[in-house]
Amino acid sequence: MKLSIIFHLLSVPNLEGLSKRDFNKMQENKQGLILQEPKAEIVSIDQEISNGNGNQAILSTKRLPVAGQVSNQELIAEEKLLFAEESSIEKNYHGLRGWLRLFHVSRVIGMLSLYLYLDQYEVHHKQHRKIAEYRMQQARKLNSLAVFGEYIHEIGRWCFDKSVRLTRRIVLRGEANKEIQQEKQAVWLKENLIELGPTFIKIGQALGTRADLLPLPFVKALGELQDQVPPFPNEIAFARIEKELGKKISKVYAEFDVEPIAAASLGQVYRAKLFTGEEVAVKVQRPNLTGIIKGDIGIMAKIIRFAERFPSLNENADWAGMLRAFDETVHEEMDYAAEGRNAERFNESFKEWTNVHVPKIYWNATAKKVLTMEFIHGTKVVDLEALKARNVSPEKVNRLLIRTYLKQLLEDGFFHADPHPGNLLVMPDGRLAFFDFGMVGRITPELQSKMIDAFFHVVAKDPAGIAQDLIDLDFLKPGSNPDIVRPVVENMFQFHLNLKLKEVNFKELTYDLADVMYDYPFRLPSNFTYIMRALMTLEGIGIITDPEFNFFETAKPYAKEFMFKREGKDLRKLLTDKLLGRDADGKIDLDRTWKLAKMAFKTVFNTNK
């Protein structure tokens, strides 16, 4: 059916190009929104715009087989069905099946560890040589027998070195083919993680941000890892809904999808209608998810305890700590009631932004393992043809998205940590809708201040300042000498900063940093995992929607705006001290103050250097 929809075209101005009058108008805009075109446009849409999976017919819940199961015997049978499905997974972690699962997981982890060891063998070899030289010096201080013993030990090390180098030549096929082999290994790892199931898909997604642990091709491949799991049966899903809500499905929903519209590692989604007429999306958790997560984490804990016997395997990461963090994070995602609260907190942050929308949560139909929210029709932010057919500019949508994230990161300290295209839609009226708040990040005021410092050091093309920022942000491993890595970082950034700002690519910069982090004593702080994931995903969307997109160029005017607008007495004082360079004695860095004044003058009056 043809629908006539009135919506305002999104118009995101570049603050660098605003006149003083326009800038003042923006400052008076209490919503903190992008300026919109004054005229609305009528757009004809020949078919209902949806996210591509909301058009199939839905049935009255009275016609669903589960609706007729009302006798005590039938309800008990339904309960037993759900219990049997939930408990069936446990047998995969006991007995012979448990050992086979352990073997499969160990094989994948072992092959990955071997490959990474071979890839970094030269670093390990140099360290072993230093230790051998020290041992020989100590042996010479003792007696000839100790020296003889060290010679015998050296022969053993020589044999080990030759065997490792032979294995390395076979596996890596020489330095010339190193990158090609890394790419093949990365694809192999991604495919095996998908085969291992939900837990390892989530682990792979988390590792996709750990450039300090994995070579660049692995980071790229795991960054593309998406949930790829089949749906579970409807009768199990309906039983789950009735158990969680304590009501028959026909008492909660008037109509319901006969098949899920989406399936992921943690659950699947159905379309439904409430008795009050609202169209809703119902997310139902997998019945065996708790058992899968518990079993797989138990296997990982066994492997980590074994690996802890070999200190060299743990020198680059706290694997036990990472597993604890993953366990905590994935259980947060499994709590759908917490996800609903996250959505409402996000909505509160953007309540005055009339072109940002968060689906309404229906709490009377929401529990820990079932989430009912407003169903949103719209177009994916990367569907360029559909957006242009509606006279919506993909570039302007992208700039709105960037601005929302700068607000989240620099002002709110609470952000959506998984902004992939499936979680973002442009609604028929032009609003940008956010979905899936199971994965969110939080940022302290102190970290916000350091991030602003780092951002403007990039803008100011100050490699020494950026190197110091990385140290201040705890990117350096404990005990490492900052003087060793500072020149390396400065040289790396010097190349990018010699480019014009619009030519600086955030993802390329991040990947170059990834190589440095992998080869030098860097680590990715835990509080930056979600931030890096979100920013790299955003730039990926930006490159698709706007071929001329540049993260720094787009973010620069908005970062300035939020820098000037941030509220809170303590936060403002901390930020002011940072910007003015005020030290412990209260002295002010006049040079930095003059730079800030020029920045504000340029923003307001649109002057150019």
DSSP 307-359: HTTSGGGGTT--HHHHHHHHHHHHHHHT-HHHHHHHHHHHHHHTTT-TTEE-P
pLDDT digits (tens, 9 = 90+) for 96-138: 888 999 999 999 988 888 888 887 777 677 767 877 887 888 8
Average pLDDT over residues 198-227: 74
User: Cα dist. 100→105, 279, 304, 420 in Å?
Assistant: 9, 45, 18, 34
**Nearest 5 degrees, angle CA 74-CA 80-CA 84?**
150
Picking from 267, 270, 233, the residue whose alpha carbon sits closest to that of residue 249 is 270
- Residue 531 is predicted with a pLDDT of 83
Q: Which residue has the higher pLDDT, 180 or 548?
A: 180
Indicate the pLDDT class of residue 226, thresholds 50, 70 and 90.
low
Which pair of structure tokens corresponds to residue 393? 């500019």
Q: Which residue has the higher pLDDT, 547 or 520?
A: 547
- Residue 377 is predicted with a pLDDT of 92
Indicate the pLDDT class of residue 500, thresholds 50, 70 and 90.
very low
**435 pLDDT more than 80:** yes
Mean model confidence pLDDT for the chain: 75
Considering the candidates 212, 257, 412, 418, report the single residue annotated as catalytic. Answer: 418
Are the CB atoms for 394 and 381 separated by under 8 Å?
yes
**For 17-21, 161-165, 414-418, 601-605, which range has the lowest pLDDT when averaged over its residues?**
17-21
**For 246-250, 303-307, 331-335, 398-402, which range has the lowest pLDDT when averaged over its residues?**
303-307
Indicate the pLDDT class of residue 6, thresholds 50, 70 and 90.
very low
Picking from 327, 578, 540, the residue whose alpha carbon sits closest to that of residue 451 is 578
User: Cα dist. 531→21, 242, 513 in Å?
Assistant: 35, 37, 15
- Residue 578 is predicted with a pLDDT of 58
**179 pLDDT more than 60:** yes
Work out whether strand 267-274 and strand 262-263 pair parallel, antiparallel, or are unpaired: antiparallel
How far, in Å, CA of 349 to CA of 169, rounded?
55
Dmax (CA) for the chain in angstroms is 95
**For 97-111, 195-209, 305-319, 335-349, which range has the lowest pLDDT when averaged over its residues?**
305-319
- Residue 75 is predicted with a pLDDT of 65
Q: What residues have CB less than 8 Å from 231, skipping those under 6 apart?
A: 259, 260, 263, 268
Are the CB atoms for 278 and 372 separated by under 8 Å?
no
Q: Which residue has the higher pLDDT, 235 or 481?
A: 235
Share above pLDDT 70 across residues of the chain, in percent, rounded to a whole number: 68
- Residue 74 is predicted with a pLDDT of 67
Average pLDDT over residues 312-318: 57
Site of tokens 């795991």: 222
pLDDT digits (tens, 9 = 90+) for 316-336: 556 777 788 788 888 888 999
Q: Which residue has the higher pLDDT, 568 or 401?
A: 401
Picking from 210, 205, 320, 207, the residue whose alpha carbon sits closest to that of residue 265 is 205
- Residue 46 is predicted with a pLDDT of 28
Listed ranges 57-61, 424-428, 488-492, 562-566; the one with the highest mean pLDDT = 424-428
Q: Does pTM top 0.85 for this prediction?
A: no
Share above pLDDT 90 across residues of the chain, in percent, rounded to a whole number: 18
**173 pLDDT more than 50:** yes
**For 30-44, 61-75, 201-215, 521-535, which range has the lowest pLDDT when averaged over its residues?**
30-44
**348 pLDDT more than 80:** yes
Average pLDDT over residues 154-176: 81
Indicate the pLDDT class of residue 572, thresholds 50, 70 and 90.
low
Q: Which residue has the higher pLDDT, 169 or 271?
A: 271
Indicate the pLDDT class of residue 45, thresholds 50, 70 and 90.
very low
- Residue 410 is predicted with a pLDDT of 83
Using DSSP's 3-state secondary structure scheme, residue 358 falls into coil
**353 pLDDT more than 90:** yes
Q: Which residue has the higher pLDDT, 89 or 283?
A: 283
- Residue 53 is predicted with a pLDDT of 46
Picking from 406, 400, 446, 445, the residue whose alpha carbon sits closest to that of residue 427 is 400
Are the CB atoms for 336 and 366 separated by under 8 Å?
yes
How far, in Å, CA of 118 to CA of 167, rounded?
8
**201 pLDDT more than 60:** yes
Is 418 in the active site? yes
- Paired residues of 272 in beta bridges: 256, 280
Indicate the pLDDT class of residue 479, thresholds 50, 70 and 90.
low
- Residue 363 is predicted with a pLDDT of 97
- Residue 566 is predicted with a pLDDT of 55
How far, in Å, CA of 120 to CA of 517, rounded?
13
- Residue 514 is predicted with a pLDDT of 55
**For 58-72, 130-144, 176-190, which range has the lowest pLDDT when averaged over its residues?**
58-72
Specify the DSSP class assigned to residue 441: E
Q: What residues have CB less than 8 Å from 166, skipping those under 6 apart?
A: none
How far, in Å, CA of 349 to CA of 481, rounded?
41
